[in-house]
A = this chain, B = another copy of it.
Amino acid sequence: MARAATTSDAFNAIAEPQRREILVLLRGGERPVTELARDLGMSQPQASKHLRVLREVGLVRVRGAGKQRLYGLDARGLRPIHDWVGGFEEFWNETFDRLDEYVQDLKQARREEPTDGDDQ
């Protein structure tokens, strides 16, 4: 099998940096494709493709406005991600201590194996 589709969930959708940038831009309000493409320095078709992915996972919605199509943010799909990652909050502080423990282990291991059994 290949990697899961980018459209399979928000996790996969936001793994792409340019799509994250699009979301950031959309925090400023609705925007047409061309503007997004210009601001992000990508081709307009490419922007459309990224927006399609974001739409399919529900992070973005479209609204026709004359000849334009205005894309808007729907951030609700980001909440599960925030929650999941938040489940590790206590660990990214605690980890420093564990790392310290780890370093102590290394030191001790080196101390217990000075030069016997040596080369290769």
Measuring CB to CB, which residues of chain A are less than 8 angstroms from any residue of chain B? 3-4, 6, 11-12, 14-17, 20, 23-24, 27, 61, 63, 72-76, 78-79, 81-82, 84-89, 91-92, 95, 98-99, 102, 105
A75 to B86, CA, bound (A): 10
A15 to B8, CA, bound (A): 10
10 of the cross-chain contacts (CB-CB < 8 Å) are A4-B15, A11-B20, A20-B84, A27-B87, A27-B88, A72-B102, A74-B95, A76-B95, A78-B88, A78-B92
A3 to B14, CA, bound (A): 12
CB-CB < 8 A to A24: which residues of B?
Answer: 87
CB-CB < 8 A to A81: which residues of B?
Answer: 81, 85
Given contacts A88-B27, A91-B73, A92-B78, contact A15 B11 (CB under 8 A): yes
